[in-house]
A = this chain, B = another copy of it.
Amino acid sequence: MDRPLRLISREGIVDSPIDALARTVEALLVVASQPLTLEQLVDATEDVLERVETALSLLSERYREGRSGIVLERAAGGYAFRAAREAAEACGRLFERPVERGLSQAALETLAIVAYMGPVSRPEIARIRGVAADSTVASLVERGLIAEAGREAGPGGAVRYRVTALFERVFGLDSLAELPRLDDLGADAESLRDRLLEVAGARAS
Which residues from chain A sit less than 8 Å from chain B, CB to CB? 2, 4-5, 7-10, 20, 22-28, 30-32, 36, 40, 43-46, 66-70, 81-84, 86-87, 90-91, 93-95, 104-106, 129-132, 134-138, 141-142, 147-148, 150-151, 156, 158-159, 199, 203
Contacts and interface: CB of A to CB of B under 8 A. Distances in A.
A23 B132 contact: no
28 contacts: A2-B5, A9-B66, A23-B84, A23-B86, A24-B86, A24-B87, A26-B68, A27-B69, A27-B83, A27-B84, A27-B90, A28-B83, A28-B87, A28-B90, A30-B69, A30-B81, A30-B82, A31-B94, A32-B94, A40-B94, A43-B93, A43-B94, A45-B90, A46-B90, A70-B70, A105-B159, A131-B141, A132-B138
B148 A104 contact: yes
Interface of A is mostly: helix
A68 B7 contact: yes
A135 B137 CA distance: 13
Nearest to A93: B44
Given A4-B8, A7-B68, A203-B156, A27 B91 contact: yes
Contact of A150 (B8, B105, B130): B105
Contacts of A10: 66-67
Stoichiometry, as copies per complex, reads 2
Nearest to A136: B148
Nearest to A91: B31
A24 B88 CA distance: 9
Given A93-B46, A132-B138, A31 B106 contact: no
A22 B94 contact: no
A188 B68 CA distance: 56
